[in-house]
A and B are shown apart, each in its own frame.
Chain A
């Protein structure tokens, strides 16, 4: 036996078979025990429960959900919530983060100090603590009766930020947004490929966008409901406005502020990694500072930042799960409440994991596309110098 184990191929076969056996054994035992438990608790397996109504509401959703909505609709609302707060958070964090990064590498000492203080404070405190903090701040605002008002149409209270509402379903707003993005992309493509159509592209896109807006405006609404509704204080609460709940705002602010601290460092790293020789070449060619930034420093810095940025985006999306701590109904919270209420643990957990795997792969895929389009040809991974 010992002699046999000294044989390289025999050893590798034995080891691999052992590992396979143990893994299969564990999996099988998990399944068997799970089935026993499910049977003893009288819970049916399978995804049939998705058609059942939940019996509980959530306090924020992009699509129409009530406490009578079926599970699948509730889960979809949760997923959309995660995407909303995640994508908005990523965008704001990036914009803000660029600003912070520039502060950090500024030659001005005061700006430097501001940037460094910001980064050190908000990077070294856990995200969940920051979320709790902002939530506490927002819920300690005055009650609706004594709300802070801006021009009598916008109100800030501990129930949230209330704006005049466009009588435009939120889903339609999203469609409009997506439509606009699609039109812009289409316009850019047409501009690239056809020089004859080029001068007409932007006016045509603008016209198309207006058309889309009017279309959405006219359909899906009863003709005599008003276009804009203003918030009105009735009793203890505001009605009829577009209200942004503090749960959502607190999470968004926390993700933006925390994310900006990290993205600021990534931006700083990217800008610092641009080889001095390239900048000097630009100077030698007689380019002025603005041009050097535009043509050399920024493009190279962006390419250097992409891998770290992609990682950060994935991390920030996953971080939205802490919304449950402050009551924001993101995908995780909807799933965990569903598990509590329906007992369909395994199926729901699988859906949870699937949802996040999907989100991650989408971000990864998108960033990879951006990366390959921007990639410096012939050099493989983005290593400068």
Chain B
């Protein structure tokens, strides 16, 4: 695909002797929403962490918006500006207010003035319906609120691609809904998204494509309807049976 957002070609990743990713090939188009799922240890987190080089891939090539990820630090800076990431543990900066959490990276990375940065920050916080908490500190918010702030913080950089690494796994069940709602809204606005998650309801609703990984390889990928209704691989079926059995309401 000529103008793919993300291209992974034959990507492998080793941690010492342990092989986390085995010659993975994946392409994500502009505006596409991909959900990556699989049992733990399948390499799905490693995969998306390679995309913004929080992990360095051991072999293969990765292209983000046409730029290849190599040892070139300048290219890396460009890539990280275009790619936003949301973590399982939120990772908000506890010593700064919510507003500052969002504004400071803008001031440092895009060299905006404090005025401009705070304006953008407030608008993104509005978008995530959490602007009222702008003056508070992260410890004073609930998990769901913190995660929405984390999403807003990533959006302040106006990324073209958003990566989500199990964004709702650390949340109490009551709060999962509000975060998923925000992510669905984001998806509907046309953001290119790769989301590692166990939330199959979200996948069914918002994903264009679902990718199933096991033991460092992509076992199956298909559009979401085909994936859930007609899984081809035995491993996929086994996984779905487990997941869906645990959450009957999602089926």
Q: Which residues of A contact B (CB under 8 A)?
A: 6-11
Instruction: A10 to B72: give the CA distance in the assembly, Å.
Output: 10
Give chain A nearest CB distance to B233 CB in angstroms. Answer: 38
* Smallest Cβ-Cβ distance to B77: which chain A residue: A6
In the complex, which residue of chain B has the Cβ closest to the Cβ of A7?
B71
Closest residue of B by beta carbon distance from A9: B71
Residues of chain B within 8 A of A9, CB atoms compared: 71
B234 at the interface (CB under 8 A from A): no
Question: Scoring B residues 130 to 155 as 1 if CB is less than 8 Å from chain A, else 0, what string do you get?
Answer: 00000000000000000000000000
Please count the residue pairs between chain A and chain B whose beta carbons lie under 8 angstroms apart in the complex: 12
Contacts of B72 in A (CB 8 A): 6-8
Interface string of B80-103 (1 = CB under 8 A from A): 000000000000000000000000
Nearest CB in chain B: distance from A7 CB, A:
5
Say if the beta carbon of B1 comes within 8 Å of chain A.
no
Q: How many residues of B contact A (CB 8 A)?
A: 4
CB distance from B250 to the nearest CB of A (A): 38
Q: Is B73 an interface residue (CB 8 A)?
A: yes
A7 / chain B contacts, CB cutoff of 8 Å: 71-73
B246 cross-chain contacts in A, Cβ below 8 A: none
Residues of B within 8 A of A8 (CB): 71-73
A8 to B74, CA, bound (A): 10
The CA-CA distance from A6 to B73 in the complex, in Å, is 5
Residues 51-110 of B at the A interface (beta carbon under 8 Å): 71-74
The interface residues of chain A lying within 8 Å CB-to-CB of B74 are 6
Q: A6-B73, A7-B71, A11-B73 are in contact. List 9 more A-B contacts (CB 8 A).
A: A6-B72, A6-B74, A7-B72, A7-B73, A8-B71, A8-B72, A8-B73, A9-B71, A10-B71
For the complex of A and B, the 9 pairs showing the least CB-CB separation, nearest first, are: A8-B71, A6-B74, A6-B73, A7-B71, A9-B71, A8-B73, A6-B72, A7-B72, A7-B73
Least distance between B246 CB and chain A CB atoms (Å): 31
Q: In the complex, what residues of A have CB within 8 A of residue B71's CB?
A: 7-10
How far apart are the CA atoms of A9 and B72 in the complex, in Å? Answer: 9
**How far does the alpha carbon of A231 sit from the alpha carbon of B174 in the complex, in Å?**
86
In the bound complex, what is the Cα–Cα distance between A162 and B244 (angstroms)? 88
In the complex, what's the smallest C-beta–C-beta distance from A10 to chain B, in angstroms? 8
How long is the Cα–Cα vector from A10 to B73 in the complex, in angstroms? 11
On chain B, the residues within 8 Å of A10 by CB distance are 71
In the assembled complex, 12 residue pairs joining A and B whose CB atoms fall closer than 8 Å, in A order, are A6-B72, A6-B73, A6-B74, A7-B71, A7-B72, A7-B73, A8-B71, A8-B72, A8-B73, A9-B71, A10-B71, A11-B73
When chains A and B are docked, how far (Å) is the Cα of A227 from the Cα of B74? Answer: 85
A383–chain B nearest beta-carbon distance, Å: 21
Report the Cα distance A353→B72, complex, angstroms. 45
Bound CA span A9–B71, Å:
7
- Measured CB to CB, the closest approach of chain A to B78, in angstroms, equals 11
Which residues of the partner chain A approach B73 to less than 8 Å between Cβ atoms? 6-8, 11
Q: Give bound CA distance, A8 to B72, whole Å.
A: 6
Which residues does chain B contribute within 8 Å of A6, judged by CB atoms?
A: 72-74
Distance of A11 Cα from B72 Cα, bound (Å): 10
- A11: chain B residues at CB < 8 Å are 73
Contact with A along B205-238 (1 / 0, CB 8 A): 0000000000000000000000000000000000
Complex: chain B residue closest to A2, CB-CB = B74
Assembled-state Cα–Cα distance A11/B74 (Å): 12
Distance in angstroms from A184 CB to nearest chain B CB is 47
How many Å from the CB of A16 to the closest CB on chain B?
15
Chain A's closest residue to B76 (CB) is A8
Min C-beta distance of A51 to chain B, whole Å: 54
Q: Which of B144-194 contact A (CB under 8 A)?
A: none
